Amino acid sequence: MMKPKALVLPRESMLKQVCSEECKQLIESAFNPVWNDKGCDLTEEELSELVEDAEIILTSWGSPILTDAMLEKAVKLRAIGHAAGTVKKRMPREVFDKGVRVYSAANRIAQSVGEHCLAVLLTIMKRLPAFNAEIRQHNWKATGQKGRELAGSTVGIVSASSTARAFLKLLAPFKVNVLLYDPYLSEEAADKLHVRRASLEEVMSCPVISIHAPALPATEQMITRDLIALIPDGAYLVNSSRGAVFDEEALIEELGTGRFAAALDVFVKEPIRQDHPFLQMSNVLLTPHIAGASIEGHLALMYAVVQDMLAGFAGQPTSYEVTERMWETMA
Amino acid sequence: MMKPKALVLPRESMLKQVCSEECKQLIESAFNPVWNDKGCDLTEEELSELVEDAEIILTSWGSPILTDAMLEKAVKLRAIGHAAGTVKKRMPREVFDKGVRVYSAANRIAQSVGEHCLAVLLTIMKRLPAFNAEIRQHNWKATGQKGRELAGSTVGIVSASSTARAFLKLLAPFKVNVLLYDPYLSEEAADKLHVRRASLEEVMSCPVISIHAPALPATEQMITRDLIALIPDGAYLVNSSRGAVFDEEALIEELGTGRFAAALDVFVKEPIRQDHPFLQMSNVLLTPHIAGASIEGHLALMYAVVQDMLAGFAGQPTSYEVTERMWETMA
């Protein structure tokens, strides 16, 4: 049997980050690959010339977008695998009409985000940066302040997205009570996740809060000034979804009072501007939108979509496939 | 039935840290308590005058030590509950000859240590302090460096102590491979913990290493210069047991090269001296011997020993009891 022709679009510097040696071997053995040896990303024109006989297209960050015109030409195209996150702005929705199957590594990235959320939450609850700084300033236990324990506490979660589910898995041995707000989550699904469905007001009143809402028009500024005011004194807030989910001006004001702590990975405008008030706040742990980024997590992305694509071709169940039904509610 | 007379020794400022309201009520309902309302710790002389008709003694950090002479006088003593860690230097071993049952909250503290170990490990693996500092210096993703993922990695653990077991529970959803060195751990016990028994050399060669050895003459400087040299480049080392477990001079030299990262909570001499080389190292996260300390963890200590003591009196199995058989190998 002829092996399907696969365009592997990531430039070499990106490919080595998202495609392990094992994955390269898998691509060589399962496909007839055309590697991008240009030393940089292809232009749309270059891709347009190649799509005609492509059966598979593998992409990642920086790869050119698949346009309507390309889709018309790509008569042999059977599957697209995106070794990165969202695919929504990378191709026309009409790919599904053409019978093209679409795979995205977003759920693999979600695992990294889950780990990040637990990491930053424990870091701020245990005041690790403060202890580290105090020791270096020769203040051994000077403040008498103690860290907090996560085990047994109540955690409020906004949205049962894939990043929230990854976070929940890691929270399991901490035996926390979880209140979860998600208008699409059924009672039955909540039971399976061992969470209790709650209103956004209840979730924002928890002593520990983590935001996992997808970036959609419906979620923009969903965490309003009034909701931010509900966050209890001494609480811990984690946001690893999107900055625009918050009324950021209201968040700046409330965090500026120092009455609760936060770990923020995302901001309305990124990179964060040099005079942003967050940069002066000691009760905020800042990271530059890297919750989904880790060496091992990135290196697993291409493998996840290629393996899943092969499962799909073999008529087996898939884990990373994007279907037309998911298009509306996904980021 | 007459309720047993209980001396509750912690001074008020300590009691409110280690004894919850719920625990105070339990003590009032189960015992005939004598609270320490002196405003400070009792002296040995003051305790000596009280022990004669005490059936129960409850202690914590700062409480006077039970001497041989007191033990002779304490003819009614049935149980000692220590709402803190080690009891070994707090009473003569002869308490067991007198039929006194001993309870320590060390295993409850171990839970806090387990959380701390995961917290600091994730913090250094994800380079959170570095990202936080870089953003504030207006270097958004300037270095291009990524954090690491803990899930799926190999973790080497020294000693199957209670803190190691608490840490292992929290590691479960990360699906890590664990190599564990403990000369007292049977093959069967290792299987139950889902770890593989390994030599100290194998454990110290892992990409992630956590030290949980108890403070005993046999563990002093057990991590020698040669073992420290085995730690791989790019590894992550956590020590939350005792500083003296390491050849600290050799550790200073190796960490000084920057070839691996560490999170250290304990040091040969504490507080750490003001010119200690660790204070100048950016690849080391420092905390002031607080792995076992958290607000919630401390507040649970007295309850743990009192509840367990009541279980013991009722002939039920106990979780926090210290027996004479444990005396040799415990810290």
Which residue, chain included where needed, has tokens 């390309």? A70
Q: What is the pLDDT of residue A250?
A: 98
- Asked whether residue A126 is domain-assigned, the answer is yes
Q: Is A287 in Cβ contact with B141 (below 8 Å)? A: no
Q: Is B226 exposed, middle or buried (0-12, 13-18, 19+ CB in 10 A)?
A: exposed
Compare CB distances from A287 to B128, B150, B173 and report the shortest one's residue.
B128
Residues A86 and A231 in one domain: no
Chain A residues in contact with B279 by the CB 8 A cut-off are 135-136
- Residue A327 is predicted with a pLDDT of 86
Instruction: Tell me how far apart the alpha carbons of residues B243 and B124 are, in angstroms, rounded to a whole number.
Output: 19
Q: What's the rounded mean pLDDT across residues A220-228?
A: 97
Is any Cβ of chain A less than 8 angstroms from the Cβ of B229? Answer: no
Per-residue pLDDT, averaged over B43-70, amounts to 96
Q: Is residue B292 part of a domain?
A: no
The answer, for A149 touching chain B at a CB cutoff of 8 Å, is yes
Residue A316 CA neighbour count, 13 Å, CB half: 9
User: Which distant-in-sequence residues (6+ apart) come within 8 Å of A327 by Cβ?
Assistant: A88, A93
In a domain, A177, yes or no: yes
Set of chain B residues whose Cβ sits within 8 Å of the Cβ of A293 = 146-147
Nearest of B167, B190, B180, B182 to residue B121 by alpha carbon = B167
Q: What is the pLDDT of residues A232-290, one digit of tens each?
A: 999 999 999 999 999 999 999 999 999 999 999 999 999 999 999 999 999 999 999 99
Sequence-separated (6 or more) residues with CB below 8 Å from residue A267: A243, A248, A276, A278, A289
pLDDT exceeds cutoff 80 at A329: no
Mean pLDDT of B187-202: 98
Nearest CA in chain A to B143: A288
Identity of residue A121: L
Q: Count how many pairs of residues, chain A against chain B, have C-beta atoms within 8 Å.
A: 153
User: CB–CB of A111 and B151 under 8 A?
Assistant: yes
Confidence of residue B142 (pLDDT cuts 50, 70, 90): confident
Q: Is residue A69 part of a domain?
A: yes
A298 contacts: CB under 8 Å, gap ≥ 6: A17, A18, B146
Average pLDDT score, chain B: 96
The minimal CB distance from B119 to the residues A123, A169, A272 is found for A123
Whether B288 sits inside 8 A of A131 (CB atoms) is yes
pLDDT, one tens digit per residue, over B274-317 is 999 999 999 999 999 999 999 999 999 999 999 999 999 999 99
Residue B245 lies in a domain: yes
Q: Specify the 3-state DSSP secondary structure of B256.
A: helix
The pLDDT assigned to A227 comes to 98
Q: B20 lies in which domain range?
A: 5-105+300-326
Our CA-based measurement puts residue A298 at a distance from the nearest CA of chain B, in whole angstroms, of 10
Please tell me the number of Cα atoms within 13 Å of A136 on its side-chain side: 16
How many whole angstroms separate alpha carbon B281 and alpha carbon B257? 9
Handedness of CA A71, A74, A79, A84 (dihedral sign): negative
Using CA coordinates, name the residue in chain A closest to B132. Answer: A286
B-facing residues of A in 260-319 (CB < 8 A) are: 270-272, 274, 279, 285-290, 293-298
Instruction: Please give the distance of CA A155 from its chain centroid, rounded to a whole number.
Output: 20
Assess if residue A295 is contained within a domain: no
* A26 lies in the same domain as A116: no
The string of pLDDT tens digits covering residues A85-123 is: 999 999 999 999 999 999 999 999 999 999 999 999 999
Answer whether B44's CB lies under 8 Å from B76's CB: no
ipTM of this model?
A: 0.96
Reading the block at residue A240, the tokens are 């690893």
pLDDT-derived band at A143 (thresholds 50, 70, 90) equals confident
Do A242 and A101 reside in the same domain of the chain? no
The partner residue sitting opposite A126, judged by closest CB among B111, B119, B134, is B119
Indicate whether B28 and B49 sit together in one domain: yes
Of A138, A140, A279, the CB nearest to B135: A279
pLDDT at A137: 95
Using the Cβ of A153 and the Cβ atoms of chain B, whether some distance falls under 8 Å is answered with yes
| pLDDT tens digits for range B259-281 | 999 999 999 999 999 999 999 99
pLDDT at B329: 77
Of B135, B148, B296, the CB nearest to A296: B148
Minimal Cβ distance to A293: which of B146, B286, B296: B146
CB contact under 8 A, A172 and B169: no
Tens digit of each residue's pLDDT (9 = 90 or more) over B62-101: 999 999 999 999 999 999 999 999 999 999 999 999 999 9
- Whether B10 is in a domain gets the answer yes
| Min Cα–Cα distance to chain B from A30, Å | 26
Contacts of A279 in chain B (CB under 8 A): 135-136
Interface with A, mutate which of B115, B174, B301 (most A CBs under 10 A): B115
Give the gap in angstroms from C-alpha B114 to the nearest C-alpha of chain A: 11
* Whether A248 and A175 share a structural domain: yes
Q: What is the pLDDT, as a whole number, of residue B131?
A: 97
Whether residue B1 is predicted with pLDDT greater than 80 in this model: the reply is: no
| Inter-chain CB proximity A147 and B123 less than 8 Å | no
Whether residue A234 lies within 8 A of chain B, CB to CB, comes out as no
Q: pLDDT value at position B202? A: 98
Give B137's pLDDT tier (boundaries 50, 70, 90): very high
* Average of per-residue pLDDT values in chain A: 96
Interchain CB distance below 8 Å, B170 and A174: yes
Best mutation target among A108, A140, A169 (most B Cβ atoms within 10 Å) is: A140
Mean pLDDT, residues B150-174 taken together: 98
pLDDT at B327: 86
Question: Is the CB of residue A330 less than 8 Å from the CB of residue A88?
Answer: yes
- Enumerate the β-bridge partners of residue B157: B180, B210
Residues B155 and B133 in one domain: yes
Q: Is A202 exposed, middle or buried (0-12, 13-18, 19+ CB in 10 A)?
A: middle
Give yes or no for residue B187 having a pLDDT over 80.
yes
pLDDT digit string (tens) for A48-60? 999 999 999 999 9
- The answer to whether residues A269 and A174 belong to one domain is yes
**B23 and B63 assigned to the same domain:** yes
Percent of chain B at pLDDT above 70?
A: 100
**Domain CATH code at residue A265:** 3.40.50.720
A331 within some domain: no
CA B35 from chain center: how many Å?
27
| Whether residue B76 is found in the same domain as residue B13 | yes
Residue B146 dihedral angles phi and psi, to the nearest 5°: -110, 160
**How far is the alpha carbon of B13 from chain A, nearest alpha carbon, in Å?**
12
Q: How far is CA B225 from the centre of its chain?
A: 25
Classify strands A284-286 and A208-211 as parallel, antiparallel or unpaired.
unpaired
Option in B120, B173, B294 nearest A128 (CB): B120
Tens-place pLDDT, residues B103-117: 999 999 999 999 999
H helices present in B147-287, as ranges? 162-171, 187-192, 200-203, 225-230, 248-256
In chain B, what is the greatest distance between 2 CA atoms, to the nearest angstrom?
Answer: 72
Residues A35, A173 share a domain = no
Distance of CA B254 to the CA centre of its chain: 26
- Residue A224 sits in the same domain as residue A159: yes
CB-based contact A119:B128 (threshold 8 Å): yes
DSSP per residue, B126-168: TTHHHHHHHHHTT-TT-S---B---TT-EEEEE---HHHHHHH
How many structural domains compose chain B? Answer: 2
Interfacial B residues in 161-220 facing A (CB < 8 Å): 169-170, 172-174
Does B266 share its domain with B308? Answer: no
